[in-house]
Structure 1
């Protein structure tokens, strides 16, 4: 069996106790042991204490390689038709894999225990702050609700994948690649400054990145953008560790928000970067935004593409909106 069970607790409780705790019939945790410079393991130890203190039955699995969380989530949900919470303990990359494993299973309920560098899903969609508030959602110690939210589906030459936060092409994906392959990520995480690693690489990449022209087909209408820094197609507000790139995005309205930053000199891009933290960038010239349900982007020169912080291809991508496709656990707003 390709899933290695590292921890499984079986604590009996009756139906009245189930209703009191508000926990689903089945509860699974998928832990990425190397997330946040292996800090995810310490977070999981704290979560386990909470589960045992509250006499909560659960199953837990560690991932062992890239793509493993997707396989585990799919395996879990394929063997039951009961409401099942699948919680990712890791960052947005781990959550991305779990979403891809859970898509197509309507009985799945996704949760995130944020233990990564960016944690934009927990911030923007789950609306929780830190791992203790996240586990409180599961244990019913704080106001929560099960929401049905949108996801996107994209295709590149290399792969097909679902995404829940956003996908981007341009300097943002190049930064993502650099972050994920740099020792600096571990160093920032060790100092509890994981979010700042994206800012560090943005400033580093600013002077060397070569802009390119891109053709964008938005719901059947073609647009050509010159000297593009990046194009982000968002399902929620945040990316890159808390950057408010798409302040008008809603995760359940059936629309993507697309933001293209183009024809801007290096110095002005710094202004975009400064204003993006409160959404002021949308009022700047050559920051162009659209709402759409389908989009196709083709880059004139090779450039990377990221989805939920994971590299998924380069140069050409096609995506469509899948409305109210997956159920999640979220804090009441």
Structure 2
């Protein structure tokens, strides 16, 4: 077996199943396809083969599926990891230079160049893109419950508008390199890669190969100030706003109200307090860039 494809047939409201049907005829004989049957199953299927150094594990689904798979492959990190994107946001693949056509994507997933990337960890949960707390985590929780009612960025925008009415900034304390600071906080995002929520460039300087998080800390905002700032997130220019602080670090701890949700790769993974850590060059990935 040269590769195992872990297929989440329900991802992207059926997009994953449709993509699989397009590539099925082109699969080599030494590629095994296994299907998930519910939440957490992709992690189990990945963990079964996590110690096989010559194997490529391909996650066919959305960022939530990729999140489950990477949690099955870590902490060993021995296999090669690849994705076939078919979800709501498809943010992780934006860093890998994958082509658009299904056949070309399959070729990259199975035979593309190898690159080592960092993986983030928030407490005991691993992540590929961004972990955050505050407004974006509350939106992520809502999107996870309602994503069957919309696709891509639109479902995230619905969640944003819905939560703007009631969300209040909360006092949070950030610990970095032995120092700490407390501020009323709208959101804090620690990026291993730049994108979340269907193409929002929340951490524009994040690079999954530099061993650091790009942290974006948004202080308290008026409700009238939130939407203009969010429109700038797609270009990454929100970091120029006076209420936004950015820095890079290998590790940070966030404390605050214990009811505050924490997300990683758009999946809710717990509540405050949390410690976020970069694991440098943790796993090999297939990439479309040489």
> What does residue range 263-282 of structure 1 map to in structure 2 within 5 Å?
263-282=220-239
Partner in structure 2 of residue 168 of structure 1: 132
Task: Give the 4+ runs in structure 1 shifted more than 3 A.
Answer: 104-107
Partner in structure 1 of residue 25 of structure 2: 49
Distance 1:195 1:139 in 2: 28
Q: 1:57-82: per-residue Cα shift (whole Å, max 9, x none)?
A: 2101111121111111110234x3x4
Partner in structure 2 of residue 59 of structure 1: 32
TM-score normalized by structure 1?
0.83
Partner in structure 1 of residue 74 of structure 2: 103
- Tell me the SS of whatever aligns to 2:48: helix
1:115 counterpart (86, 94, 97)? 86
1:88 counterpart (33, 44, 59)? 59
Distance 2:87 2:98 in 1: 14
Partner in structure 1 of residue 141 of structure 2: 177
Distance 1:280 1:77 in 2: 39
Distance 1:274 1:106 in 2: 37
- Judge conservation of contact 1:43–1:131 (CA < 8 Å) in 2: no
Q: CA deviation at 1:301?
A: 5.8
Distance 1:29 1:292 in 2: 34
Distance 1:139 1:57 in 2: 11
- Tell me the SS of whatever aligns to 1:112: strand
Greater Cα shift, 296-305 or 281-290: 296-305
- Tell me the SS of whatever aligns to 1:76: coil
Q: CA deviation at 1:56?
A: 4.5
- Judge conservation of contact 2:83–2:109 (CA < 8 Å) in 1: no
> What does residue range 173-322 of structure 1 map to in structure 2 within 5 Å?
173-182=137-146, 185-189=147-151, 194-226=152-184, 228-300=185-257, 302-322=259-279
- Judge conservation of contact 1:237–1:249 (CA < 8 Å) in 2: yes
Q: CA deviation at 1:139?
A: 4.8
Q: 1:259-289: per-residue Cα shift (whole Å, max 9, x none)?
A: 0111221111112101111111111111011
Is 1:37 equivalent to 2:5 in the alignment? no
Q: 1:10-65: per-residue Cα shift (whole Å, max 9, x none)?
A: xxxxxxxxxxxxxxx611100111111122111111121222xxx44210111112
Q: CA deviation at 1:130?
A: 4.0
Q: Once superposed, what is the RMSD of the aligned Cα atoms?
A: 1.6
Structure exhibiting the larger radius of gyration computed from Cα positions: 1
- Judge conservation of contact 1:113–1:131 (CA < 8 Å) in 2: no
Gaps of 5+ in 2: none
Partner in structure 1 of residue 287 of structure 2: 330
Distance 1:324 1:103 in 2: 12
Partner in structure 2 of residue 145 of structure 1: 113
- Tell me the SS of whatever aligns to 1:285: coil
Does the C-alpha gap of structure 1 residues 56 and 188 become closer, same or farther in structure 2, counting only changes over 3 Å? Answer: same
- How many positions carry a matched residue from both structures? 289
Gaps of 5+ in 1: 1-24
- Tell me the SS of whatever aligns to 1:77: coil
Partner in structure 1 of residue 49 of structure 2: 76
